[in-house]
Structure formats: structure tokens, C-alpha cells
Structure 1
Amino acid sequence: MAASSRVALPLNRSLLKMGERIAVAVSGGADSTALLLALQEEAAELGIGVSAAHLHHGIRSEEADADLEFLRGLCARLDIPLHVDHIDVPARAAAEGETVEEAARHARLAFFDQLMQQGTVHSVATAHTQDDQAETVMMKLIRGAWTEGLGGISPMMERASGRLIRPLLPASRQDVLAFLKNRDQKWCEDSTNASTVYTRNRVRGVLMPLLREFNPSIGATLSAIAELAREEHARWQPEIARLLQQLAMPGKPVRGGGRAVATLPEEQGVAFELERLRVLDLPTRRRLIRAAVERMGVRLGAAETLRILLLAGLAPPETPPDPTVPTKPNSRLQLAHGLRAERSVRELRLVRVSDGSPKR
């Protein structure tokens, strides 16, 4: 095929650093197959080393075995090293009290971390596309999300072991299929993608086609919203960090002055003077409370944050009363994950007593 007729795959090449060894997380599906092939074709020009990484999840046993054999053949043909590991995801899910999806995600991250910690690779590239981004934003909207949630899939995630990068985010699924067809490259189909048990599959198969009737470019539109949301969140971060340093106080006041800090290792606490919170605008109050709680290992939803504001007398005036939330001084409100909010005459105190298990 003439070079001029070759279809290019849209990539975020700014994520690909010269001299890096990059493992492409491959499942055998269309997206990861296309990303692996595209990076292999451009490796010399970009100055990167390319390998592939596949985790056999212990699900869909025969189909998964066939996926692995497909990948072995593909990597051999492309002369690309293939890193493989096996894990029984259903057994992990049962042992850890996770859903199968959560267990699979945590297992993949552990596999990627291991490759980077060992120095086998510097970064791992996952094959998330523009369609994945749009579906993620819609799922966040359905569930209710803050600005950072609407940011969806970040192009790059720094981990202690190395970087997770998503260079395929600019590409739509149509781009991927056109690229593979142009290369006459086959891929594997995951039978679970057709299952309506999974929310993402219902969003992909039912909701997104409906939205395309209103806006044929809905994928690009939602991806642009995600980028704006990430930029907004990044803009807020330094300001909230500064306010936390200025306004957050440890422990609680004691007679004669000073503050008593919790002595139990499993207890964390922080307090704010109500008057200093009151002078802040509502978006800043929300973000400050959420940031303080997040440092304790808990992520607050919109409803929980509003309940804390109601307890503190800092909610918007038009907020309907909530009979489950006390609004007088010297009251407390018990929330999920061991989190408790306490209101005194002068302060709002947030306390978490942990049972030792991390908040997921």
C-alpha cells in the first residue's frame, strides 16, 4: 500500500517522551491493537521503545486464552516484547469484597506498577479513546459529579512507580476501525461488551446512539467538556491548598486556650471557624470542606457536602430543610466511612475514625 494512502491514527504525541520505554496495555481488542500498531510504526521517529503488557484476568477462560494467543502472534510478527501475568480476578473480588470490575482494575494497576517499579518500562499506555471519554462523562453526569468528575479520563496520571498515559484519547472509535481496516489488521472481540449487565455497555449501546441523533459530534463535545473541567479543577487546586493551610485547625479547643489533638492513631480531625467560612463564597466553601475530608481518605458527594453545610448553617438560603440534619450549635452528624461532622458555637469540626480499611 502506498504511504500516501495510509490512514493515520490521531495521537497525543506530547505524552510520548523521547528515550522512554513504553508498554501498551493490550487486551486484543480493537483499541489496544490499534494503539500498539501505531506506536510500533512511529517508534523510531518518536525515539521510544515499545512493548506490550497483557493481564489474563481468569475470566472468560477459553476466550481469554484465545486473546492471549492472538497477542503472542501479533507481538511476534511486530517484533515487540510481550509482558504477561495471570490473576484470578473473581477470587480476588470475593476475597477483597470488591466487584469484579473493581478487582480487575486494581489488578491491572498492580501489574502496571510492577512493570514500572522493576524498571522494565517507564510508562504504561492505555488505549482509552474519545468514545471512552464521552461515555465516562455521561456516566459521571448520571451518577452526579463535581467538576473533577466531569474531567473524566485524564490524559496522564502520575503514580509512584511511573506514568499512565492515554495517547489515544484524541481518536474516535471510527478512527480506530478505519486505521485497522487500512492496515488489514484483525482484532479480538470481548463477548462481555454486549452484556447489558454493565452500565458502560448500556451507555455505549443505548444512550450514546440516542445522543448522536441530537448531536452527531457528541463524542468530541463531551471530550471538550472534560478538558474544560480538568482545567477548572487544576485552577482551583492551588487556591484551596492555600486556604486549607490558612484556615484548617487541628483538634478541638480546650479550656484555658490551645487545642487538643486526637491521640488515637485511627482518628483524624480538622476544624474551621464558622465566621471564617461564612465570608467565603459557596463554591469555595464546598471545595474547602471536600478537600479537608479527602485528606482523611474520604470523597464526599454533593448530597453529603450539602448536609455538612446545613449542619454548619452555611448552606444557600433557598436550600430545603433536611429533617435528618440538626442545625443548632453543639450538634453532630454521622456520615459514611467513619466520618462525623460536629458543630459548636464557633466551629465546624470534621472527624474520621478509621477501621483501618481504605476508602474505595
Structure 2
Amino acid sequence: MSDDDDSPISAREARRLFAGLRDAPALVLAVSGGPDSVALMWLAARWQRSLARGPQITVVTIDHGLRPEAAREAREVKRLAAALGLPHRTLRWRGEKPKTGLPAAAREARYRLLAQAARTAGASHVLTAHTRDDQAETLLMRLFRGSGLAGLSAMAPFTERDGIVLARPLLDVSKSQLIATLRRARIGFAEDPTNRDTAFTRPRLRALLPLLAAEGGDARNLARLAARLARANAAVEVLADGAERFLRLRDRGDAPQASVRSFEAATFAALPEEVRLRLLLRAINALGHEGPAELGKVETLMSVLDRAIAGPVAAANGRPVLKQTLAGALISLAGGRIQIAPAPARRRKGR
């Protein structure tokens, strides 16, 4: 994009933003009514009109039922979508809302409803209006939570969720450019007050960005860092893939079982630490039944495992040297082999 963060996005730049989506059968745009998503809708509509034959576009607004203004904002999005020649749907998050973890629960509900809308519309992609500013904030949130390399890669331009591809075509565009684009087009937009509510983490971090920018940590540099970390993460994933194949080749020749993963302990211990960690994470998440494993807990498990492998009884046969459950998976070390399998279901209290 242009180096001038206050310049409107040109038609040529817009075509480049959406170029990879030209052959999609249909697209769903997630539009809340705020400046970022309204700009996404306006740019996508202009791009679609420039094509001789482009994907069908449906605009979807999610009303979380958390603010009284949301219904009015959805009606305004519908009005603007109609003016741009785009069909619009409003979907509502119904049911009781949680008292804690509300932002995460609302996000899960939003993506679930968007995936349903995409399937109904025959769309292969859901487009969201995440910007460079959002990318910087995401990096900071994950940094302060102690995320690993994968988490610090922040948001990817394309990710798969519930069988639908989430596309973020504005991920390298600044929010100020989107606002400049709307002002030139004389298009209004809503402002969500929760974006300034310091009861939530993201608005508090957003308020810190000007201070960080004064020290060189502006959104552009933070987003660049996320991209570099994503590049390194992709390289480590390739190494982990190769290591997993290598460990299987060194297996004893037993027929592979879908419900068990087994590694030769000595060969596993010789791998780089980050690769070992990823292999454990993959196995636990694939075979466990209690949700994704926490990175810190897997790191602790790996430290215990490393000590057990190096210990004087590591080569003993018979009884396991180590036996531990994590995230619904059972990890054991016996006879010089590490084995990960589903853990027995927990007994309910009172039984």
C-alpha cells in the first residue's frame, strides 16, 4: 500500500487487495457499521463492479445483542449495502451472555454465525476488515500473555475455520487510510463505544500505541515484526513436519494406530527444543479430549519428560518411567518410547 497512511485507497490499489479472491464463487463480508468494515464493503463493491465476471458478494452484520444501538447500525449497513447493489443479512447472537470472558465468547459466536451465513450463500470465503492497527494490537496482546512463536505471528491473511476460509485483505492497510477513503467517498460510519472502553484489554493497549510509536513501536513496525515472526514460524513448522516423518520412519515397524502416537525417546530428545514442543502439542491436541493444551503446561511436561529420558532408569522396561495426563491426553514413557494416547474419561463426582 501507499506509504502515506492518510491517502485514500485508489481503485488500482483496491484491485490488488482483492486480486486473490477473483475466482471465488461467492464471498461474505462481515460488516458491523464501523469505519473499517464499511470501507471493506465500499472497496469490495467497487472492485466487483470493475470485473466482467466476479464473485457474488453478500454483506452480513452480526448483532450481538449487547448494545441498544446495534439494531440501528445494522439497518444503516443494510441501507448502504442496498445503495451499493449488495444483498444484506443481519444475524443475531441469541441466548444468555456469559458474565466473564465476554469478548472471546462474542468473537466465537460471530465467527460461527458468519460461517453459517457463508454456507447458506455458497461462499468459500468470509472477509473481515482487520487492519494493520488491529495486527499491531493483536501482537501486543499475545506478547503480554506470553505467547509462543505461533501466537506472536498474530493474524494471517488467510485462515480456515469451520470449513470456510477467513480472508483479511486489509491487513496491511492502516485505519487512517480507510477513514480517508470513506471521507473522500462521503460515506458515513458508526463508532462503537466499546472500542474505547478500558474495561477491555484491546482498548487499553490501543491507548498505549501513541507512546510506543514515539519509541519506534508504531503499528507499521509492530505489524512488520508479526510478519517476520510468521515467516520464522512457518519455517519451524516445516522442520516439525520433517521431524515427525523421520520419527515415524525410525519406528519399530508396528502398524500405526490412529488413537496412539509413539516416538523413540532417544531420537526425540536429540531434536531442537522448539520442534520437540510442537510435536508434543500436535499429538496432545490431536488425541486429547479437553480442548487445546496450554503452551506453558506443555513446556512443563516437556521439561519433566526430558529429565526422565536422561535419567538412570529411562531405559527400563516394564512399568512406565513417566505417566501424566494433560488436556485429555495420556503421555507416558516406557521401554525407551514416548507414547501419547487419549486419557480415560474423568469420573464424575459422586460416582
Give 1:128 shift.
0.3
Number of equivalent positions: 325
Q: Deviations over 1:161-180 (max 9, x none)?
A: 43211111111111111112
Q: CA RMSD in A?
A: 3.2
Shift >4 Å, 4+ stretches = 257-262, 326-331, 333-336
Distance in 2 separating the partners of 1:292 and 1:161: 22
Amino acid of the structure 1 residue aligned with 2:240: I
Distance in 1 separating the partners of 2:134 and 2:256: 48
Q: How does 1:263-282 map to 2 (within 5 A)?
A: 268-282=259-273
Identity, % of aligned positions: 26
Moved more, 46-55 or 77-86: 46-55
Q: Pick from 40, 47, 63 the counterpart of residue 42 of structure 1.
A: 47
Amino acid of the structure 1 residue aligned with 2:343: V
What runs of 5+ residues in structure 1 fail to find an aligned partner?
1-5, 263-267, 318-325
Partner of 2:332: 342
In the alignment, is residue 68 of structure 1 matched against residue 74 of structure 2? yes
Distance in 2 separating the partners of 1:168 and 1:222: 16
Q: Pick from 185, 188, 204 the counterpart of residue 187 of structure 2.
A: 185
Partner of 2:29: 24
TM-score scaled by length of structure 2? 0.80
Give 1:284 shift.
2.3
Distance in 2 separating the partners of 1:311 and 1:242: 24
Q: Pick from 143, 164, 172 the counterpart of residue 170 of structure 1.
A: 172
Partner of 1:323: none
Distance in 1 separating the partners of 2:340 and 2:175: 45
* Contact preservation (8 Å) 2:261, 2:341: yes
Distance in 2 separating the partners of 1:354 and 1:118: 38
Q: How does 1:126-137 map to 2 (within 5 A)?
A: 126-137=128-139
Partner of 1:208: 209
Partner of 2:234: 234
Distance 1:222 1:314, change over 3 A: farther
Distance in 1 separating the partners of 2:143 and 2:149: 10
SS in 2 for 1:27: coil
Distance in 2 separating the partners of 1:339 and 1:327: 26
Give 1:248 shift.
5.4
Distance in 2 separating the partners of 1:328 and 1:101: 48
In the alignment, is residue 118 of structure 1 matched against residue 120 of structure 2? yes
* Contact preservation (8 Å) 1:286, 1:305: yes
Partner of 2:222: 222
TM-score scaled by length of structure 1? 0.79
SS in 2 for 1:295: helix
Distance in 2 separating the partners of 1:191 and 1:296: 42
What runs of 5+ residues in structure 2 fail to find an aligned partner?
1-6, 315-319, 347-351
Partner of 1:151: 153
SS in 2 for 1:118: helix
Partner of 2:108: 106
Moved more, 326-335 or 150-159: 326-335
* Contact preservation (8 Å) 1:293, 1:300: yes
Q: Pick from 88, 110, 115 the counterpart of residue 82 of structure 1.
A: 88
* Contact preservation (8 Å) 1:240, 1:291: no
